Amino acid sequence: MSSSSKPTNLRAQSGPYFGEFGGRFVPESLIAALDQLTETYEHAKTDPSFISELAELHRTYTGRPSLITEVKRFAEAAGNNVRIFLKREDLNHTGSHKINNVIGQALITKRMGKTRVIAETGAGQHGVATATAAALFGFDCVVYMGEVDTKRQALNVARMKLLGAEVIPVTSGSATLKDAINEALRDWVANVDTTHYLLGTVAGPHPFPTMVRDFHSVIGIEARAQMLEEFGFLPDVVTACIGGGSNAIGLFHAFLDDQDVRIVGFEAAGDGMDTPRNAATLNFGKPGVLHGAKSYVLQDEDGQTIESHSISAGLDYPGVGPEHAWLKDIGRAEYRGISDAEAMDALRLLSRTEGIIPAIETAHALAGALKLAKELPSGSTILINLSGRGDKDMETAARYFDLLDGGANA
């Protein structure tokens, strides 16, 4: 689609479909729960008491609004006179954007009169955020986590347990995030009367992609206003990393109808875009159905899901939210891949130049911005969603850079 005929009013899309993507490809047993959720959410989102309760929790608990930080030394390293701005979701309580969605859905859970929440988690960030909200709201909480991930994110497992959640390692299938989602869906089918499935990204059946996006859209709404207020312009490019796509759509959504703002998402390319070991679903996947929605899926010709690969557990997912699939197909957003090595270099660079240690997920967006800086006209401005902090990744980073046991300096 040429830029002159780009559709306008992209922000108005609210599911169940985004173009041909989205929908509800789930067992009939879940439809009543999805209908109840849709109805509760539709009512809540325009209810002044819900809106003010959510805003109050964000102000007093999450720590919103989050800052915008201009990173001059990092930008200097990027070169070409670019200016780079970070939307600091890492400063939120629990250390990432995930809390925005979790607090919203916890309020919805309360409205539905449910007392138990379940969640899937990859990196553990969404599990920690869910366990946190469960503690705050007094819900029972069970988190499904692929056995492989419980090992690479052991510290987050401990955090969830300390917060009172039960963590169930998932051994079925490939024992990673996708299988944790399958297990959570099975739990939900069996316990739907008491239980809300607090899905952690903009994937899954309607209304999740729309509802989770709406809860994260505060990122972009704040950032857009902050850019105008503090700097007097909108950025030339907005970027974010893409796992399921929640932090990205949270930032992008406010800018969808700003025709002059370019939108670029960065997927995990794992060993590299020229290798099959990646998690770059929008680059290498095909349209299909996974976890209840039609979107791009990493799959073989028989429709069997292919295991994804990334150093970052939070991006290691063979699916992606349907709204991103649609934004790609209509040409409003671009999606590119960043390898493990590129991401880790960017992680170290931001740490060294700015004193901010980002999550490895987030480092993919930082690496992407470094590449973009070289292609853009001199003096361009880039806004990056700094989706999370790197504390949870210290073990991986320490091993990657050989920092432990008297190891060399990175």
Partner 1 sequence: MPSKTAAALEANAEAGHGSLIGYFPAGYPTVEASIEACVAMCENGLDVLEVGVPYSDPVMDGPVIQAATVEALANGFKLRQTFDVVRAITERVSTPVLVMSYWNPIVQYGVERFASHLAAAGGAGIITPDLIPDEGAEWIAAAEKHDLDRVFLAAPTSTQERVNNAAEKSRGFVYAVSTMGITGAREELDELARKVVGSVRQAPTRQNTAVGIGISTGDQVAEVNGYADGAIVGSAFVKAYQSGGIDALSAKVAELASSLDTRNN
Ligand X SMILES: Cc1ncc(COP(=O)(O)O)c(C=O)c1O
Interacting residues toward ligand X by CB under 6 A: 96, 122-123, 125-126, 201, 241-248, 314-315, 359, 361-362, 387-388
Q: Report the residue number, 23 or 243, with the smaller CB distance to ligand X.
A: 243
Taking the complex as a whole, the smallest distance from the CB of residue 109 to partner 1 amounts, in Å, to: 18
Closest residue to ligand X, judged by C-beta, is: 388
Q: Report the residue number, 84 or 118, with the smaller CB distance to partner 1.
A: 118
Around Cβ 46, how many Cβ atoms within 10 Å?
8
**Contact between 291 and 208 (Cβ < 8 Å):** no
Q: Report the residue number, 23 or 388, with the smaller CB distance to partner 1.
A: 23
Q: Report the residue number, 256 or 376, with the smaller CB distance to ligand X.
A: 256
Taking the complex as a whole, the smallest distance from the CB of residue 262 to ligand X amounts, in Å, to: 19
Q: For Cα atoms 399, 405, 410, give the angle at the middle one, nearest 5 degrees.
A: 50
* DSSP symbol at 332: S
Q: Report the residue number, 104 or 200, with the smaller CB distance to partner 1.
A: 200
Taking the complex as a whole, the smallest distance from the CB of residue 288 to partner 1 amounts, in Å, to: 5
Among 243, 241, 281, 246, residue whose Cα is nearest residue 265: 241
Interacting residues of 284 by C-beta distance below 8 A, sequence separation 6+: 278, 298
Q: Report the residue number, 32 or 225, with the smaller CB distance to partner 1.
A: 32
CA gyration radius for the chain? 20
**Contact between 318 and 176 (Cβ < 8 Å):** no
Q: Which of the choices ligand X, partner 1, none does residue 31 contact, using the CB cut-off of 5 to 8 A by kind?
A: partner 1
Q: Which of the choices ligand X, partner 1, none does residue 27 contact, using the CB cut-off of 5 to 8 A by kind?
A: partner 1
Q: Which of the choices ligand X, partner 1, none does residue 81 contact, using the CB cut-off of 5 to 8 A by kind?
A: none
> Would you give the distance in Å from CA 243 to the centre of its chain?
6
Q: Which of the choices ligand X, partner 1, none does residue 76 contact, using the CB cut-off of 5 to 8 A by kind?
A: none
DSSP states along 261-314: SEEEEEEEEET-TTSS--B-HHHH-EEEEETTEEEEE-B-TTSPBPPP--S-GG
Taking the complex as a whole, the smallest distance from the CB of residue 207 to partner 1 amounts, in Å, to: 14
Q: Which of the choices partner 1, ligand X, none does residue 387 contact, using the CB cut-off of 5 to 8 A by kind?
A: ligand X
* DSSP symbol at 358: B
Among 388, 390, 407, 391, residue whose Cα is nearest residue 399: 407
Q: Which of the choices partner 1, ligand X, none does residue 274 contact, using the CB cut-off of 5 to 8 A by kind?
A: none
Q: Give the interface with partner 1 as residue ranges (CB under 8 A).
A: 23-29, 31-33, 172-173, 178-179, 182, 185-186, 189-193, 286, 288-292, 297, 299, 301-305
Residue 107, token pair as written in the block: 């309020």
Taking the complex as a whole, the smallest distance from the CB of residue 135 to ligand X amounts, in Å, to: 19
- As a whole number of angstroms, the distance between CA 410 and CA 407 comes to 9
Taking the complex as a whole, the smallest distance from the CB of residue 150 to ligand X amounts, in Å, to: 14
Annotated catalytic sites, by residue? 98, 120, 387
